[in-house]
Structure 1
Amino acid sequence: YEPRPYIVALNESLIEEARLKASTFRNSVDGNTPAWLDGPPASDIEALAQYWVDEYDWSTTQVEINANFSHFYTTVPPPSENYTEPVDLHFIHQRSSRDDAIPILFLHGWPSTSLEWGKVIPSLINPESSTDPAFHVVAPDFPGFGFSPDFTGSRENVTRAEYATIFTDLMSQLKYDRFLLYSTDLGFAVANSLIVDYADRVINHISDFYYIFPTDEDHARLEANLTTPEESTYILASDDFFGYHSGYSAIHRTLPLALAYTLNDSPIGFLAWYYHLADVVSDRPFSPHDVVTNTLLLWIPGVYGNIRSYKELFGVFIPDENYTVPTSVLQFGGTQHYPALEGLTFAPLDWVERTANVTYFSRCATGGHFPAETVPDVVVGHIRNVAAG
């Protein structure tokens, strides 16, 4: 298997079908419900639908995607006995001109694609200062996301271990024996397998989503007023998110196909589904252009292919053993609509050290769940710090 150059060229008829469906979208009436209590405001969805119909231009976006990044397509061997079919992948491979550049593999989550890293790639490959480290960036789309097709065989027995093997095999094809690993969201679940099964390949695991679930003992300490203020804030924010804001994940990991029929049939319905989660966990609004583009990148390959990944990865993104690979934890705070979620991303350092070999730790008040998009310069700075040791 050999990687080959790839030009992004989505089916124009499917793009037009999405626009036409958006033009006949039947909005919901949210009545007197407070904004964001039951979902995104109907006025937001109406405005986004109108923007998609009247202003959005995929052709211009596609030209920019092709011009700004080096795209490739490859096939990796069957990852294990659990999944015995070859796997096709799209990935961005942006090489630095520097001989001392360090390979770095980026793993995204849902609702994201390889383009989540678009704002950090240029500074990583070509730093302005010769004293800053440079990087060869590899950013794949997970199967069923973006420009990677879905798995072709049965996914019934696919686990995070198969994903880890798939992406490690990709790095092997590119002749990168050792590399930095950056994970977020569901990519963190994959990373937790990769740093065990291929620990000798990973220089350092950097994650902006090192999530620690509070244990029964932690909750008991909270009830007994024995937790620190930092711990209390984190436990309460975690309980609030998983009690009131994670319904999407429960459906994704139980009945993804049943949901996908509806979301595939209505691009605006899927936009609303995506927009709600993205806006809840971000600390600032996305532009209408980015909302529609990100929706398309998950809708075009078929919604089932990407939301089904929760069935394989969501239940195992919790760190479940003591990792020896050097680990860099980046925490970014901020929320727009739900004050109770403040602190959700701020797991106490000593909690992180329950499982991680922490060699670098940073906490930033802003940035939200998508820091590579909202505060890219900050993310680049941390990656450089980690690489510099």
Structure 2
Amino acid sequence: MTRPTSDVQAFETHVSDADLEDLRARLAASRLPEAETVRGAAPGPRRWDQGVPLADLIDIVNYWRTEYDWQRFEAHLNRIGQYRTTIDDLGIHFLHRRSARADATPLILTHGWPGSIAEFVDVIDDLANPEDSDAPAFHVVAPSLPGFGYSDKPATTGWGTEKIAAAWVQLMGRLGYDRFAAHGGDWGGNITTVLAGRFPDHVLGIHTTFAEAPPGLTTDGLTAIEREWTEETHDFWHHRAAYAKQQATRPQTIGYSLVDSPVGLLAWILDKFAEWSDTSDSPFETISRDRILDDVTLYWLTRTGASAARIYYESHNSLDPDLRVDVPSAITIYPRDIEKYPRPWAQQRYRRIVRWGSPETGGHFPSLEVPDYFVQDLREGLSAVLAAD
């Protein structure tokens, strides 16, 4: 393990009262459309058929304006430890919590969209300093993707998943971590896959909820459940992925609304938390209003609605079909996630799957929906990975 470099600077967030008052004023002055025409549907997914129901939006907007406390989340970030460094002329923000354990393994956690570092704030301490002395411990690094949160916004094209993965290797090296484990879901899972495939000398192994198979595989020989997974994934990309096509083709256009209107930003993001979580009606069945608003407010205060959307422009459908992962891999497929690939398909790319999990509950945001299970699963998966390395 090399020594950390001086290129890393401590960072703290301190949002001004004026910025928070501006947010509240915009919320108070918001113009809302009429209610959805499926209004009156019984509680359940059907109620969200046309997007976020008006009554739900009014309720959370009122809470955001009158009760939500950003300073609580800001203080939490500062307690964990925030830093910035510059890689390829772009400022990268990250959380970093070193474990007190001498046997701790460096671990990088990568979020996706519409997530952020808010996805990991409730699990970092447990991963770094577990109460059980027999549980593995980790030096945890959780960067904000370029264009997200307190990382800089790229001013030119080129910051796709391949470049981000290379930047993560530089970032970990600057912290003294020449070899490390990696975890991610959504875009973070894509980046984790690229990390493992392109930089096996640095990556001890990976844990991911993203296991995209190479294209063109047959369903012959799959079980009924595995066939169902492929059908659900196909249905998602053909009928429920308009947001991805918009951000992949016209991120600047949607970006004006996301940066100018806090209600527009909230609705755009809340829609995905609702559809992609393992709930029967509302995402707040499993994720607190505060944690979702932490995520949305981070986008708002950093004005990153447009810059975050551009990761789709840079990388949508860009994963190299020939990329193979030979480092040990632990893969967990949650039942309500939006992409679910069967193991026979996944192992065409991930050649050393040492642990495969398929729990009974959980969706696209497991660290927020089922945090206790997520931490235990991550520990067990990475333990298997490290034992196989």
Count of residue correspondences? 364
Q: How far is 1:27 from its partner?
A: 1.5
Amino acid at match of 2:57: I
Q: Secondary structure at the match of 1:112?
A: coil
- Note if contact 1:213-1:238 (Cα within 8 Å) is conserved in structure 2: no
Q: How far is 1:243 from its partner?
A: 2.1
Q: How far is 1:318 from its partner?
A: 7.0
- Note if contact 1:234-1:344 (Cα within 8 Å) is conserved in structure 2: no
Q: 1:356 aligns with which of 344, 347, 350?
A: 350
Q: 1:383 aligns with which of 378, 382, 385?
A: 378
- Per-residue displacement from partner, 1:92-122 (whole Å, max 9, x unpaired)? 1100111111000111100111221112211
Q: How far is 1:215 from its partner?
A: 3.5
Q: 1:29 aligns with which of 25, 34, 43?
A: 34
Asked whether 1:198 is paired with 2:199, we answer: yes
Asked whether 1:313 is paired with 2:315, we answer: yes
Q: Classify 1:16/1:360 alpha carbon distance in 2 versus 1 (closer, same or farther; 3 Å).
A: same
Q: 2:18 aligns with which of 13, 17, 20?
A: 13
Q: How far is 1:308 from its partner?
A: 0.6
Aligned residue number for residue 62 of structure 1: 74
Q: Secondary structure at the match of 1:72?
A: strand
Q: Distance in 2 between matches of 1:11 and 1:165?
A: 34
- Note if contact 2:338-2:364 (Cα within 8 Å) is conserved in structure 1: no
Q: How far is 1:185 from its partner?
A: 0.4
- Note if contact 1:186-1:317 (Cα within 8 Å) is conserved in structure 2: no
- Note if contact 1:91-1:141 (Cα within 8 Å) is conserved in structure 2: yes
Asked whether 1:274 is paired with 2:269, we answer: yes
Q: How far is 1:60 from its partner?
A: 3.0
Amino acid at match of 2:380: N
Which range moved further: 372-381 or 165-174? 372-381
Aligned residue number for residue 370 of structure 1: 365
Q: Secondary structure at the match of 1:196?
A: helix
Unaligned residue ranges in structure 1 (runs of 5+): 79-85, 335-342
Q: Distance in 2 between matches of 1:213 and 1:293?
A: 35
- Note if contact 1:23-1:53 (Cα within 8 Å) is conserved in structure 2: yes
Q: Classify 1:311/1:214 alpha carbon distance in 2 versus 1 (closer, same or farther; 3 Å).
A: same
Matches within 5 A, 1:147-296: 147-151=150-154, 153-155=155-157, 157-212=158-213, 215=216, 217-218=218-219, 228-284=223-279, 285=283, 286-296=287-297
Q: Classify 1:318/1:247 alpha carbon distance in 2 versus 1 (closer, same or farther; 3 Å).
A: farther
Asked whether 1:91 is paired with 2:94, we answer: yes
- Note if contact 2:184-2:210 (Cα within 8 Å) is conserved in structure 1: yes
- Per-residue displacement from partner, 1:46-87 (whole Å, max 9, x unpaired)? 1111111221222233223323x11111112x2xxxxxxx11
- Per-residue displacement from partner, 1:327-383 (whole Å, max 9, x unpaired)? 11011123xxxxxxxx75542211111111211111101121111122222222223
- Per-residue displacement from partner, 1:240-264 (whole Å, max 9, x unpaired)? 2112211100000100001111221
Asked whether 1:75 is paired with 2:76, we answer: no
Q: 1:328 aligns with which of 312, 327, 330?
A: 330
Aligned residues: percent identity?
29
Amino acid at match of 2:185: T
Q: Classify 1:75/1:185 alpha carbon distance in 2 versus 1 (closer, same or farther; 3 Å).
A: same
Q: How far is 1:238 from its partner?
A: 1.2
Aligned residue number for residue 81 of structure 1: none
Q: Secondary structure at the match of 1:13?
A: helix
Q: Classify 1:363/1:66 alpha carbon distance in 2 versus 1 (closer, same or farther; 3 Å).
A: same
Amino acid at match of 1:73: R
Asked whether 1:145 is paired with 2:157, we answer: no
**Given the two structures, how large is their TM-score scaled by the length of structure 2?**
0.88
Q: Distance in 2 between matches of 1:261 and 1:296?
A: 16
Q: Distance in 2 between matches of 1:139 and 1:275?
A: 23
Q: How far is 1:198 from its partner?
A: 1.2
- Note if contact 2:118-2:291 (Cα within 8 Å) is conserved in structure 1: no
- Note if contact 2:233-2:338 (Cα within 8 Å) is conserved in structure 1: yes
Q: Distance in 2 between matches of 1:250 and 1:74?
A: 32
Q: Distance in 2 between matches of 1:158 and 1:53?
A: 35
Q: Distance in 2 between matches of 1:230 and 1:318?
A: 27
- Note if contact 2:206-2:327 (Cα within 8 Å) is conserved in structure 1: yes
Q: How far is 1:299 from its partner?
A: 2.2
- Note if contact 1:103-1:136 (Cα within 8 Å) is conserved in structure 2: yes
- Note if contact 2:148-2:299 (Cα within 8 Å) is conserved in structure 1: yes
TM-align CA RMSD? 2.0
- Per-residue displacement from partner, 1:189-229 (whole Å, max 9, x unpaired)? 222322232111011111012234773744xx6xxxx7531
Amino acid at match of 1:265: D
Q: Classify 1:10/1:260 alpha carbon distance in 2 versus 1 (closer, same or farther; 3 Å).
A: same
Q: Classify 1:278/1:93 alpha carbon distance in 2 versus 1 (closer, same or farther; 3 Å).
A: same
**Given the two structures, how large is their TM-score scaled by the length of structure 1?**
0.88
Q: Classify 1:267/1:317 alpha carbon distance in 2 versus 1 (closer, same or farther; 3 Å).
A: farther
Aligned residue number for residue 56 of structure 2: 44
- Note if contact 1:211-1:318 (Cα within 8 Å) is conserved in structure 2: no
Amino acid at match of 1:60: R
